[in-house]
Structure 1
């Protein structure tokens, strides 16, 4: 039994010896690791942030009717250029029976008062000519006659307005819808026969058309609270519009909201920028756009890739090659970063080479 254990022990010992010999043999024949190196380079570093938003007209108005009824005629369609005061549509008034009845009653009352005032004036006119009544008394009845005449004309005009939407005195029909600004028709949401509601103090009214000045466009977007403190008015923006490929439009920041809004769990601040367009440029309202805002910029500075930096106790350093594949730690002072490259203020020279992190190391084949 003892011999069996001794034999088993010897077999295990020989197996371990063979495995260790094979392990050290493979270890001695492993290809050495050669680390990549890169030299610092001179470049421009631009730090920017991105704001998302859309392109909208600075001046956009909704034209509404002053009377209720149905659209009888439309003189324009979306996309047309219109002038201020141009007729856009005509509304057929559907008279309100109660309003018409009240206007008729008012007219009848005004006519009765006028007839009575006229008779009184004629009587006092004869008495005045006969020197029976003083001039002051005569003038009082003449003034009353003039007031009753104006009231009668007003009642007639009011009845005509209720029935037809126009009066002889004004010469302007209230059932015609006019453009209030010069610009382009963005939308005409109604059609002939559509019932509409008038604009008043209690009702917004039905929109007949939307008119905007497409020569003056602005970018409206939002920026995160972590970046808003770095913005200043008159900063340059570069606009990229998804629907227009291959073009970058310039803009000038002109407004930063003093109060942020909560959106998707974070505070964002609305901004507005004037879009600088050439005369031949045409951008449709509502395009979505991204604005690159330049926060800081360094030109022709020494830089390395930010991934090559390492940190020890929050102090940045790099590994500089002193001899082939021999590196030493070197503390560096950094400056502006764009997320890919970072400025090196001091600690490196253009002639030196910096070790690329282990993840990018390569194995040299022998």
Structure 2
């Protein structure tokens, strides 16, 4: 029994010794662990945030009729350029029976007033002639003649005013019936003309459509929309988490989905002071004016993305941000510089701006230093593969 126990113990010792020899032999066969290195380079680092939106005209003007009626003819199409004063549409007036009757009654009333004024004027003129003769002969005083003269002049003025009222009532009747009258010339209300020069963006009506005049109680029917397409702006929205980082005057880079391989420069002009809730998040409207787009035609309403450049550093010494380590106690950034074969030395660095991939190095290392890639090794053992 004792001999068997002894044999077992000896076998265990031999097996342990053999295992240790095999382990040491395998360790000797492994390649030594070597860390990869990288060098700093000159980079242009841009820190930016994104906003989505569209390209719209800076000023879009809606052309409306100043009289109600039916469109008889339209002289423009979307995409055409028009100048201020060009004819856009012709309106055929459909008179309102009540207004027409009222205008007729107004003419009759003014004519009666004119006849009464003329009769009174004739009477006052006769009195004036007699009194003037008496005044010239010295029969009546100057004070009495002045009263007669004043009454005569007032009667004459009433006749002139009554004639003006009759003329105006006739013109009003013609305008209600036909939309125009003699003397209006180029400002005839039946002709709708362009109020500004620009491109016709949209003509939402057709011949035969009824239109309502623009007045204090109704904005009226839009006949066309015009805009200067050489002055376009980006109109978009940014999230509340980003709005604190931006300010007016920052440069923008605009990319339009429908126009490939082109970027347009712009300047941030406007940030809404009040946000709007959309899909559970607060969005703030922004606007930016595009610059130098004369050579490229951008259609209004195209979707676009704006890169708002918050910071930019050109041709600065930079390394990949993954190379930077941080001291556990002081939280200061540092890198490890190769000083010999797989020998490294810590170097504290001063960081600048970062775009998430590259970070600017202001101080601490040079362009010739080899930086340890602390999370990447070379020469992995074939047994560990």
In structure 1, the partner of 2:350 is 333
- In terms of mean alpha carbon deviation, does 295-304 or 2-11 score higher? 2-11
Q: Distance in 2 between matches of 1:55 and 1:343?
A: 34
Q: Secondary structure at the match of 1:35?
A: strand
In structure 2, the partner of 1:150 is 164
Matched, 1:317 2:331: no
**8 Å contact from structure 1 (residues 34, 364) kept in 2:** no
**8 Å contact from structure 1 (residues 321, 355) kept in 2:** yes
- Where structure 1 has 5 or more consecutive residues not aligned to the other structure, the ranges are none
Which protein has the larger Cα radius of gyration, Structure 1 or Structure 2? Answer: 2
Q: Secondary structure at the match of 1:139?
A: helix
Q: Distance in 2 between matches of 1:57 and 1:11?
A: 92
Shift of 1:260: 4.1
Shift of 1:181: 0.7
In structure 2, the partner of 1:97 is 97
* Aligned-CA RMSD value: 3.4
Q: Secondary structure at the match of 2:77?
A: coil
Q: TM-score, normalised by structure 2?
A: 0.82
Quick one: structure 1 residues 2 and 203, their matched pair in 2 at CA, closer, same or farther if it must change by over 3 Å?
Answer: farther
Shift of 1:79: 1.0
- In terms of mean alpha carbon deviation, does 126-135 or 172-181 score higher? 126-135
Quick one: structure 1 residues 16 and 92, their matched pair in 2 at CA, closer, same or farther if it must change by over 3 Å?
Answer: farther
**8 Å contact from structure 1 (residues 36, 362) kept in 2:** no
Question: Following superposition of structure 1 onto structure 2, how do residues 166-181 of structure 1 map, counting pairs within 5 Å?
Answer: 166-171=180-185, 172-181=187-196
Question: Following superposition of structure 1 onto structure 2, how do residues 247-286 of structure 1 map, counting pairs within 5 Å?
Answer: 247-277=262-292, 279-286=294-301
Shift of 1:310: 2.2
**8 Å contact from structure 2 (residues 32, 379) kept in 1:** no
- In terms of mean alpha carbon deviation, does 336-345 or 279-288 score higher? 279-288
Q: Distance in 2 between matches of 1:103 and 1:5?
A: 135
Matched, 1:109 2:109: yes
Q: Secondary structure at the match of 2:177?
A: helix
Q: How many residues align?
A: 366
1:224-276 deviations in Å (ceiling 9; x for gaps):
45554554544433222222112222223333444444444444443333222
Question: Following superposition of structure 1 onto structure 2, how do residues 218-237 of structure 1 map, counting pairs within 5 Å?
Answer: 218-237=233-252
Q: Secondary structure at the match of 1:319?
A: strand
Shift of 1:121: 2.1
**8 Å contact from structure 2 (residues 264, 293) kept in 1:** no
Matched, 1:53 2:70: no
Q: TM-score, normalised by structure 1?
A: 0.86
**8 Å contact from structure 1 (residues 157, 169) kept in 2:** no
Shift of 1:130: 3.9
Shift of 1:349: 2.9
Q: Distance in 1 between matches of 2:4 and 2:115?
A: 147
- Where structure 2 has 5 or more consecutive residues not aligned to the other structure, the ranges are 133-146
